[in-house]
Structure 1
Amino acid sequence: MLVAANGCTVEVWIVFRRACLFGLVAAFAAATVLGCGSGERSGKRRIAVIPKGTTHDFWKSVKAGALKAGEEFGVEIVWKGTASEEDKEKQVQLVDSLAGTVDGICLAPIDRTSLVPPVVRAKQSGVATVIFDSGLEDASAIVSYVATDNYKGGQMAGEHLAKLLGGKGNVVLLRYAAGSESTEQREKGFLDAIAKHPGIKVIADNQRAGSDAEEALRTSSSLLQSLRGQIDGVFTVCEPNNKGMLQALENDNQAGKIMFVGFDSDPRFVQALKDGKMHGIVLQDPFHMGYQAVKTMVEHLEGKPVEKVITTGEYLATQENMDDPRMKELLNPPKAD
C-alpha cells in the first residue's frame, strides 16, 4: 500500500484532492453568478439625473418627479448635483464620472457652452443624454430637450407687468448669471414684450445675481437705492433672485408699492402673492419636468422614438387665480429631499 508524505494512503489523498478541486470550482461558479447579478444591478437600468443645484425648491420638485418616474418604469435614479448652481467645472466632472456607471444621463446644464464637450464624450462612450430645464449651445449630441418654453414665460411676465402698470412707467430687470440658457431666454422674452409698450422704459437691465439669495439681496438693495423713486415695476428671473428682491423691497418698505413679478415658486412667494407683495409669478412644472426627462430617457433606451423638444408648460399665477386647483398644485409642487 502506497503512503503519501502526509501519512494518508494514496487513494485517500486522491479523493481529498478531487474534493478540494470540486469545491473550488463550485465556489468559482457561485461567485461568477453573484458577480454577474451585481454587474447587471438586478436587471435595473441606472439613469443619472444631474440638476444645476440641489438646494432650491425647484430642484427638490424635479427630484420628486424623477424618482416617481424611476419607480414607475423600474429604473434606478442616481441623483447627483453640485452645491452651487454656478460650479460648471464640477458639473462637467460629474457628467464625465457618471457616464461610465449608468445607462443614460438626464442633465440640466449650468452653462450652455461648457457642458457640450462632456455630453459629446458621453455619447461617444455609448451613453445617451436627455437635456432638461436649460438648453445647450449645440444640441446635436443629445436625445431630447425637456423644458419650459422660457422665452414664452418671459413674455408672459412682460405682458403682465405692462398690464399692471397700465402701459406706462419705469421697470427694472434683475438678470441671472451669464451662460444659463433658460434664464437668458426669460430675459429676452421679457424685454421683447416690454418693447411693445412705448410708454414703458427699462431703466436698468445690466445687473446680475447668481444662485446665492444673499448676493441677490445686495444687488437688489443697491438698485432700489440708486434708483429711489424712479422704479414702478421689477422682474426677477429665478428663485434666488426672487428671494433677494422680495427681501430688499420689504427692507426698504417698498413691498406692495412697486409692482413685482417673479419666475418660479417657493412657499415665501406664495405668501407674498397672497399678501400683495408680489403681483405675479410665472410658474414652471418642475415635478413633470423631472418625470418627463426620465420617461424620455427610458423610452429612448427601449428603442422607442422620442420628440427632439418636449415642452412642460408655463403658467401665470396671480392673487386672483392662486386658489384654483391647478395653480395651487403648481405653487406647491411635491418635493423630495
Structure 2
Amino acid sequence: MRRTLSLLIVVTVLAGIVQAASATQIGVVLAGSGLDFWGPMSRGMHRAADDLHVELLMRSPSDGMSLGAEPNIQLRMIDYLVKSGVAGIVLAPEPLQDVATPIPIAVPTVFVDRSSTDYNAISTVSTDNFAAGRTAALSLVPVLRKGARIAVLRLAPNISSTTAREEGFLAVAREMGWHVVIAPYVGYQFRETEAQVRKSLSGDVGHLDAVFAPNETIAYGALHVVEEMPVSTRPRLVVFDWRPEFLHALEHGVIHADVVQDSYRMGYRSVETLVAALQGQPPRPKIFVDVVTVTRENLNDPAIRAVLANYRR
C-alpha cells in the first residue's frame, strides 16, 4: 500500500513537472517599466496568461533608455527571448537607430500600445491615438472661442503613438480656428520634461487659453507648471494618461479633462490575440481599445472608476 501511494505521488509530481515544462511561453518586451501606464498593462498581461494557461517571460528596459543611453536595447531583449524558446512575442516597439529595417523576428509578434515599421507584426493592439487626440481637443470645444491660443507639448518625433495624438488634437484645432502658438518637443524624462515645459510656457503666462499634454511624463510636468501659475491666468489643461495624483487636480479644476487609456485591457488583449494566433486563429491587423475622458463631473461614473481602479499602485 505504501509503495503504491509512493508511486502515485512520484507520478503526480512528474506529471506536474512535464505539464509545467510544456506550457507555452510568451515573450514580452515593453518600452518601459516605471511609468504608471505600464503597471496595469503588465497586470492585464499576467491575467490573460493565467486565463489562457501560458507563461510570460518579460524583459523591458527602463523608461526612455531605448531613446537615450542604450539605443536598440530592445533588439537584445528580443534575441534573448527567441533563443529562450518563446512561441511568440508581445512588443511595445521603440524606434531603432542605424540598422536595416524591418527587423525579422523568428516568432509571431503582436505590437502593443503603438505600431512600428521597424519590425513586422501580425497585429497591433492599441488606442486609436489619432481619434483619442481628437477626443482631447473636443473636450475644449464648449469652452474655447475661435482664435483661442493653444500650446501642444509634443513628446518626440519618432514615437508613433504620441505623434498620432498630437496630430489628432491639431486637426481639431485647425477645424475650430484655434491658434497653436506653442508646439515644442519637450522630451520623455520627468525632470527634463518639466524643465522644458516651464521654459516653453513661461513667456505666455496669462495669454494661453489651453495646453495639451499627450502622455504621462508631459502631463505630470505640465500640471506642476500650471499649478504654479496664478489662478486667474491658468490655461485649461487637457492631459493624456493617468497618475493617481491627477485626481486632486481634476477635483479642483486644475486639469480640465484627462483622456485615459485602458492599458490593463490593452495588455490583456495583446496576449489574448497572440495566443489565438498561435492556435491558428488569424488576428485582425488592428485592434483598438477604447479610452475614457475623465472630468470633474464624471469622476464617480462606474465605467470611469473601473478604468482608474487598474491604476492603483
TM-score (normalizing by structure 2): 0.87
1:247, CA displacement in angstroms? 0.8
Name the residue aligned to 1:201: 179
Q: Which residue of 2 aligns with 1:134?
A: 114
Deviations 1:64-87 (A, max 9, x none): 000000110111111221013341
- The question of whether the paired residues in 2 share the 8 Å contact of 1:262 and 1:282 is answered with yes
Q: How many residues are treated as equivalent by the alignment?
A: 296
Q: Distance in 2 between matches of 1:327 and 1:94?
A: 35
CA contact (8 A) 1:266 1:332 kept: no
Structure 1 outlier segments of 4+, above 4 Å: 37-41, 112-119
Alpha-carbon distance in 2 for matches of 1:223, 1:55:
26
Does residue 103 of the first structure (1) align with residue 81 of the second (2)?
no
Task: For 1:267 and 1:256, locate their aligned partners in 2 and report how far apart those are by CA, in whole Å.
Answer: 25
- For 2:169 and 2:97, locate their aligned partners in 1 and report how far apart those are by CA, in whole Å: 23
Instruction: Using the aligned pairs only, state the percent identity.
Output: 28
TM-superposition CA deviations, 1:194-236 (whole Å, max 9, x none): 10012x21001123221x1111210111122122332111000
Q: What residue ranges of structure 2 are gaps of 5+ in the alignment?
A: 1-12
Letter in 2 for 1:224: L
Per-residue CA deviation, residues 231-265 of structure 1 (Å, 9 max, x unaligned), is 11100000010000101112334598310000011
Does 2:308 align with 1:328?
no
Shift of 1:42: 1.9
**Would you say 1:274 and 2:257 are equivalent positions?**
no
Contact 1:86 1:110 in 2 (8 A): no
Contact 1:62 1:290 in 2 (8 A): yes
Secondary structure of the equivalent of 2:255? coil
1:186 alignment partner AA: R
Among 187, 203, 214, the alignment partner of 2:191 is 214
Residue 214 to residue 334, structure 1, CA distance change in 2 (3 Å): closer
1:230 alignment partner, one of 185, 192, 207: 207
Partner of 2:40: 61
2:60 counterpart SS class: coil
The more displaced of 60-69 and 295-304 is 295-304
Aligned counterpart, 2:57: 78
Contact 1:169-1:232 within 8 A present in 2 as well: yes
Which residue identity is paired with 2:150?
A: V
SS in 2 for 1:303: coil
Distance in 2 between residues matched to 1:136 and 1:152, nearest whole Å:
18
Cα distance, 1:168 vs. partner? Answer: 4.0
Letter in 2 for 1:219: Q
Structure 1 residues 296 and 112: CA distance shift in structure 2, 3 A: farther
Q: Which residues in structure 2 correspond to 1:106-255 (within 5 Å)?
A: 106-111=90-95, 117=101, 119-123=103-107, 128-137=108-117, 141-198=120-177, 200-210=178-188, 212-254=189-231
1:115–1:136 CA contact under 8 A, matched in 2: no
SS at match of 2:63: coil
Secondary structure of the residue that 1:157 maps to in structure 2? helix
TM-score, length-scaled by structure 1: 0.81
**1:165, 1:180 → 2: CA distance?**
29
- Over the residues paired in the alignment, what is the CA RMSD in angstroms? 2.6
Q: Max radius of gyration: which structure?
A: 1
Find the aligned partners of 1:240 and 1:63 in 2 and give their Cα distance.
Answer: 19
